[in-house]
Structure 1
Amino acid sequence: MNRFLKAIGIATLLGVLTAMGAVFFAGQASAAGQICEQYGSTSIQSGRYIVQNNRWGTSSTQCITPTTSGFTVDQADGSVATNGAPKSYPSVYYGCHYGNCSTNGDILSPNGLQASSSAFSRISTSVSMTYPSSGTYDASYDIWFNKSQPTATTGQNDGAELMVWLNHTGSIQPIGSKVGTASIAGATWDVWYGSSGWNVISYVRQQPTSSASFSVASFWSDVVSRGYGSTSWYLTSIQAGFEPWVGGAGLAVTNFSVTTDGATPPPTSNPPTSNPPTSNPPTSNPPSGSGCSASLRVDSTWQGGFQATVTVTNNGSSAISGWRTAFSLPSGASISNLWNGTATTSGSSVTVTNASYNGNVAAKGSTTYGFTGNGTAPSGATPTCSPS
């Protein structure tokens, strides 16, 4: 995100935009190469997304390497005071940012999408991230809205900046002050509001995670209900990345996607790993000489919810081409989000079959799926498994 306005003030906007534009487009890099230019960027997936270095708050070196589905921060020198603005916002995005627009199937380029449109309600996004063991940063979405229909050359949006913090370290906090809480996308969030010449609404996840999937409308409807936005405003970009204050090398977006057909994309084959497993040991049906077995581990719990991982193991001497597991949830519990599988439920009974990409499991090999849920965690649940 370009929060340089917060540091230099609106008065110098014109000069900064002029200077930034010269660097921004001159700093284009190939998808295969490292980007160290201050505002360097490149497209991935044939132009569907753009990866940007966006080092706006420091003169220290920052370098990122784009991947086919995100990027890795290779170098992030220097630090800034944790009671002020961050160093940068290395990120991957869909849409338009200061005239730099994604193109492949992008319904936001170049004129945005009004939040009152039926197409807006069908936009969903997913991200998976990995975090280093040190540094001070937040891992967040930055979703931008303009009050009027923008053009391809629109710079700073004047409506709202919707931030979704999945994780943060150290003493940092969003702009403004906490104004409440919200239950969205299967999690509880602290809601913060501030202003930087535009509304900044930040949703800070009470239980940190490294993976998320949600519809943009689910957060925006809450913003509108609080009076901080309007359905007449235009969505211009969906960005995911990191705001580092201290360090930042090792931060990575391993997978980012946006869908526009109403489907919520899974967080990828990497389940969330930011919360250590609880003391609940995996439970499983006993392995046999053939077929498959499954074990369930509760990764983390919080008030009103939980996260769990199921491991499917092929016990046989030959590969299987598909699998099906079944287990029961505690009374009143439900699944809010599941990745790397397809779930069907009937009361407390849950059946999960493989996704299209992880049904083939080699002999003695294994695969996993994960889910978050509401209510009591299924500690002690014993899944059954059968090839399909």
Structure 2
Amino acid sequence: LGLDTEGRIVQVNDAYLKMTGYRRSALLGTSIESLVVSDIPGPFLPKMKERTAHKTSLYRARHRKPDGNLVLLEVAVTALPAGEVAYICLYRDLTAIEEAEQRAKYTLDLLRYVVEHAHSAVVVFDTQMRYLLASTKYLTEYGMKNADEIIGKNHYEVIPYIPERWREIHQRALGGEVLSAEDDYYEMPDGRREYTRWECRPWYDANDTIGGMVLYTENITAQKLLEHELREARDYLSTLISRANAPIVVWDETQTIVRANLSFASLFGLGVGHLIGQHLEILHPYLDDEELKHILPFAQQEKRIESLEVGIKQDGGAVKTILWTITPVYEQESGNLLATIAQGQEITERKHLEAELQEQLEELRRWYAVMAHREDRIIELKGEVNELLKEQGKDARYTSIHEGER
């Protein structure tokens, strides 16, 4: 556009008409003020004159099209010497650029939202290891109040105790490698160990050039401490089971044997290693068929069982009797069955003593029955003697049938 000193349009080329959709006749003689939509309040012309007083002015502006829509233009305005045309304005349509910028801004905002609200600790660096983005989880794990504390700062200034080997890993990632570790640690200034799971990978800009590095990290210190405690508890339990004199066996929810001690394995003449991983059915041949029918319903129950007697067949035909206590173990939160522990006590000798006592008791019962029958016969004979004497007119010899007992 060519403008006079009052800002009226005196010249317009075909390119501007095609860009905006105006007809030439509609623009000639019109003030530039009717086209320009400015965010700055006040008349536009004085500002344009001020900008172009000593040099060409380059800026962005929006012009109103005939249909009322706005088009973003890049404007270069140059003041000319005295003449009909005082200002020459060159325009470039920035619609495509603006749309691309909006798409880029949307993508960046979306990326920032995704990173900030990720459940894992995520941080994005540039090639100088300066923070660009950080998730809330990352800020929480490393004791930072908000992202403003670190954005733009160097990673090694924010966390100076990072070990040298990790710095080398960061440089390798910035060189194009993707690196990770499932269980790594670093020493804190106070001597504590912090365990982490991490992955480093480069990110690329529009020119396919490495623009920095993305770090995914998860602090697993609490998990490691829990694993250590569980391992200690498991080792302690394993020691108790293996060294116990009483037979002990543990099976899972599928009735697969997961633990057993030597005392248990010796009942069947097997090694502990032969039992682990086997189903309880491996023990069936050592049980009497009738007893097995009685025991199976108990083994399938998921409740505590006290004093379950089981006879186990031994080589040579002998039977060992074991008194079992069976206890299920449940997961605390879900209530699902985790395992079942059975502990036994051999009562073979006690059962033999009980059998002997029972046999002696039966003998006493038989003897008592014989003696009781004999006493009854004596009483009958006394009665018969008294009857015979009475028939002979004599006095009874036994005034009481129990007299002979005194």
Tell me the TM-score normalized by structure 2: 0.22
Radius of gyration: which is bigger? 2
Tell me the TM-score normalized by structure 1: 0.23
| Greater strand fraction, Structure 1 or Structure 2 | 1
| Greater helix fraction, Structure 1 or Structure 2 | 2
Task: Choose between structure 1 and 2 for higher RCO, CA contacts under 8 A separated by at least 6 residues.
Answer: 1
